[in-house]
């Protein structure tokens, strides 16, 4: 390959890059200089612009359907039926929802599971759209980053209950007397439990792009759209997919809160697994709880097989790789889709249209590039200072409005109480993140470096990450009450029950994305024990770990709302903390205390992110990017 490996794992540089196709029997990849290459099916930068490449035409032979076309058609038809049924259910009058409460009938459970899954995928679609719009803007614009990154820090700390408190009224006003208003509020709540880690993942990937690929994109004169489609999105895809899995699992963790919505002092349960589980806990029905967990596991296995495994197999070609040393992930559905004829024909036609659009985009990009102004550092600095002043002024106005509202309705004693409880929750968050890191970083690296094991544990990890803390409330309450344990200590593990998986999923993504030649270099130099971790593993996964730990930290603050108050029937145990403060205020309908609690939590999260996680992000960008 014309390169010599270095013993410093995170400082190894290559003069040539190749990308493997990810499929057995594919032609050998072509080597191009300056770190730019293309293999069979690769979507990274290519040595030939789209404008000079002939557009694919229709299939040369007549279309003849095969069994794989029939299978794909049946799957799509079934999906359309489920979506149509859910759409009809969502658009019912509100009176019809109140007239049909949740019933513990097993025949209804599959329908409830389908409705919950539709809400989660609607939230996931909105999260993807949000990620594709916001993450590139924050990664490329310093002015936008000044607003977006602190806003994300605040939003990931705001609990789901905090969003529901203020969004239910808005959506009910948009769709009065219709179930659709409550459905939109529930989907928005699910969106708030999914979007932030996906956005941070793509932001981190775009900030740590290899410099030689960035230079090559400039050399080829790629427009902003082409660069996003050919370089930034493919490079971010492995980490983004694992965070999509985590987002779906995280949504299960908060599904009870999102499907039981309080309107004008009345709690309305939307039909779904979360409402079933909430009612089962209230009635102390262990059998109904078990059936809800079984339904959740079945749904996770289904969408893992029908969505995430095919997507993981498809995205394997986007790995930043110079060797084909590891077997690619496999998916029976992805293999079947590749062997269809109808959908191959449709794909080729879509590619032809996309390439025609790319030609227009390329001509426009060249025209714009000729008119681009010369850089003026002095003017840029003045504009940055002015923009920073505007951002600070807006933040000060927002903070003043919150302070005025809280002081108008609460005493300073209430505010200081919330601050003191915030420090208790902060201690729990830091201790639990440290313990989770010590446990899951080694396990995640071991799994990520072994693709066969990654395939085996993929569904299991999603099931464990989706396991709602509410399911463990009966056991936690019974154990704490009967053994006279301290709730301040023994309720704490429930906080990290769902958020620890952010660390595991991101570390697996980071380890699986490590180039094969770096692994070979570590093997050639016989790196062992702590030297292997210090020079290869930890530098390679560090950007991914920071993303996972940051989102796990924000998620733990959010989960404190659920975990610091546990109930089983009429028995309730509570830990002192900011989460229990907000949960009690929400249950009593005390909006002023909810605002005070959310504001204090946001301040804690911003201070923690700015003092710990943001400096680590800077270290990851400067020292541990793949160059």
What is the domain partition of the chain in residue ranges?
9-50+115-318+344-364+408-623
Average pLDDT of the residues in 457-485: 76
411 or 327, which is more confident? 411
Phi/psi class of residue 268: alpha, beta or left (left: φ > 0; alpha: ψ in -120 to 50)?
A: beta
CA nearest neighbour of 597 among 552, 565, 550: 565
Band (pLDDT 50/70/90 cuts) for residue 363 is low
Neighbours of 623 (CB within 10 A): 12
Question: Which pLDDT value is given to residue 442?
Answer: 94
What is the CB neighbour count within 10 angstroms for residue 527?
18
Q: What is the pLDDT of residue 373?
A: 52
162: nearest Cα among 476, 458, 465, 586? 586
560 and 493 Cβ atoms separated by less than 8 Å: no
Most confident of 309-313, 328-332, 388-392, 514-518: 309-313
E strand or H helix at 269: strand 266-269
Q: Is the pLDDT of residue 365 over 70?
A: no
Which carries the bigger pLDDT value, residue 147 or residue 53? 147
Q: Span 9-50+115-318+344-364+408-623: which CATH code?
A: 1.10.3720.10
Q: Does 402 have pLDDT greater than 50? A: yes
Residue 244 CB contacts under 8 Å (≥ 6 apart), including other chains? 124, 128, 198, 308, 311
| pLDDT (mean) for 187-211 | 88
pLDDT at 39: 38
Q: How far apart are the first and last CA of the chain?
A: 17
Q: What is the three-state SS of 8-67?
A: CHHHCCCCEECCCCCCCCCCCCECEECCCCECCCCCCCCCCCHHHCCCCCCCCCCCCCCH
At 579, the pLDDT band (50, 70, 90 cuts) reads confident
Q: How far apart are CA 233 and CA 496, in angstroms?
A: 30
Which distant-in-sequence residues (6+ apart) come within 8 Å of 294 by Cβ? none
- Please say whether the beta carbons of 565 and 583 come within 8 A: yes
User: Would the pLDDT of 157 be above 50?
Assistant: yes
Cα-based distances in Å from 56 to 29, 229, 337: 21, 18, 19
Reference 46, options 13, 17, 12, 3; nearest CA is 17
* Inter-helix orientation angle 142-157/195-207, to 10°: 150
Contact 10/308 with Cβ under 8 angstroms?
no
Distance (Å, rounded) from C-alpha 404 to C-alpha 478?
43
CA 301 to CA 295: how far, in whole Å? Answer: 10
> Sorting pLDDT into bands at 50, 70 and 90, what band is 370?
very low
Least confident of 250-264, 410-424, 426-440: 250-264
Percent of the chain with pLDDT over 90: 11
569-596 mean pLDDT: 82
Q: What is the pLDDT of residue 37?
A: 40
Question: How do residues 280-291 score in pLDDT, each as one tens digit?
Answer: 888 888 888 889
Helices 195-207 & 493-512 angle (0-180, nearest 10): 30
pLDDT grade for 133, boundaries at 50, 70 and 90: very high
Show the CA angle centred on residue 498, arms to residues 494 and 500, nearest 5°.
100
Q: Which pLDDT value is given to residue 381?
A: 73
Q: What percent of the chain has pLDDT over 70?
A: 82
DSSP 533: I
Judged against a pLDDT cut of 50, whether residue 139 lies above it is answered with yes
Looking at residues 441-461, what average pLDDT do you find?
Answer: 85
Q: In this predicted model, what pLDDT tens digit does every residue of 299-349 receive, in sequence order?
A: 988 998 889 989 888 888 777 665 555 677 788 888 888 888 777 777 777
Q: What's this model's pTM, rounded to 2 decimal places?
A: 0.74
Structure tokens at 408: 């108008």
236 pLDDT more than 50: yes
Contact between 196 and 155 under an 8 Å Cβ cutoff? The reply is: yes
H or E, element range at 572 = strand 571-574
Q: What is the pLDDT of residue 321?
A: 61
pLDDT grade, residue 36 (50/70/90)? very low
Question: Between these two residues, 326 and 476, which has the higher pLDDT value?
Answer: 476
Q: 35-44, 213-222, 389-398, 434-443: which range is least confident on average? A: 35-44
Report the DSSP beta bridge partners of residue 139.
none
- Cα–Cα distance between 222 and 45 in angstroms, integer? 9
pLDDT of residue 377: 72
CA–CA separation, 86 and 111 (whole Å): 9
CA dihedral 351, 354, 358, 360 (to 10 degrees): 130
């Amino acid at each position: 390959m014309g390169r010599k490996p270095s013993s410093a794992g995170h400082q190894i540089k290559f003069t040539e890059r190749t990308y493997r196709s990810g499929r057995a029997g594919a032609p050998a990849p072509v080597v191009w200089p300056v770190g730019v290459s293309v293999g069979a099916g690769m979507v990274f930068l290519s040595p030939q612009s789209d404008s000079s490449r002939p557009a694919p035409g229709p299939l040369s032979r007549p279309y003849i359907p095969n069994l794989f076309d029939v299978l794909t058609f049946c799957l799509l038809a079934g999906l359309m039926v489920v979506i149509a049924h859910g759409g009809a259910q969502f658009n019912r009058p509100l009176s019809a929802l109140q007239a049909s409460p949740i019933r513990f009938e097993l025949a209804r459970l599959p329908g409830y599971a389908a409705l919950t899954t539709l809400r989660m995928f609607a939230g996931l679609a909105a999260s993807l759209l949000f990620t594709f719009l916001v993450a590139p803007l924050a990664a490329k614009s310093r002015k936008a980053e000044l607003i977006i990154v602190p806003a994300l820090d605040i939003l990931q700390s705001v609990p789901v209950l905090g969003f529901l408190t203020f969004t239910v009224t808005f959506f009910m006003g948009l769709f009065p007397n219709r179930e659709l208003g409550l459905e939109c509020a529930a989907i928005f709540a699910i969106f708030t439990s999914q979007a932030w880690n996906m956005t941070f993942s793509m932001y981190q990937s775009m900030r740590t792009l290899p410099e030689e690929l960035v230079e090559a994109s400039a050399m080829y004169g790629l427009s902003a759209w082409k660069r996003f489609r050919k370089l930034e999105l493919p490079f971010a895809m492995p980490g983004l997919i694992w965070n999509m899995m985590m987002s779906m699992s995280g949504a299960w963790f908060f599904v009870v809160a999102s499907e039981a919505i309080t309107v004008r002092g009345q709690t309305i349960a939307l039909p779904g697994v979360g409402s079933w589980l909430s009612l089962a806990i209230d009635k102390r029905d262990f059998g109904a709880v078990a059936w809800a967990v079984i339904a959740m596991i079945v749904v996770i296995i289904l969408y893992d097989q029908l969505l995430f495994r095919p997507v993981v197999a498809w995205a394997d070609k986007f790995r930043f790789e110079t060797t084909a040393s590891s077997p690619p992930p496999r998916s029976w559905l992805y293999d079947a889709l590749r062997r269809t004829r109808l959908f191959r024909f449709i794909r080729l036609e879509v590619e032809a249209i996309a390439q025609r659009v790319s030609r227009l985009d390329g001509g426009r990009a060249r025209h714009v590039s000729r008119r681009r102004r010369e850089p003026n550092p002095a003017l840029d600095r003045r504009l940055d200072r002015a923009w920073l002043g505007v951002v600070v002024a807006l933040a000060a106005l927002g903070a003043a409005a919150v302070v005025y509202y809280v002081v108008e309705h609460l005493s300073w004693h209430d505010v200081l109480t919330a601050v003191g409880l915030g420090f208790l929750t902060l201690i729990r968050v830091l201790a639990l993140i440290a313990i989770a890191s010590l446990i899951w970083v080694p396990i995640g690296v071991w799994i990520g470096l072994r693709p066969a094991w990654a395939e085996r544990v993929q569904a299991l990890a999603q099931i464990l990450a989706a396991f709602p803390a509410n399911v463990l409330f009966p056991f936690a309450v019974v154990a704490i009450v009967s053994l006279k344990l301290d709730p301040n200590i023994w309720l704490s593990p429930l906080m990290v029950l769902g958020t620890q998986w952010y660390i595991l999923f991101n570390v697996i993504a980071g380890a699986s994305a490590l180039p094969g030649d770096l692994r070979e270099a570590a093997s050639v130099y016989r790196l062992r024990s702590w030297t292997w971790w210090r020079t290869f593993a930890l530098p390679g996964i560090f950007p991914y770990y920071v993303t996972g730990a940051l989102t796990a930290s924000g998620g733990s603050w959010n989960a404190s709302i659920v975990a610091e108050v546990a109930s089983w029937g009429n028995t309730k145990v509570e830990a002192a903390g900011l989460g229990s403060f907000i949960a009690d205020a929400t249950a009593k309908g005390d909006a002023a205390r909810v605002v005070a609690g959310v504001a204090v939590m946001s301040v804690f999260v911003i201070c923690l992110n700015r003092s710990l996680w943001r400096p680590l992000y800077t270290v990851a960008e400067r020292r541990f990017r793949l160059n």
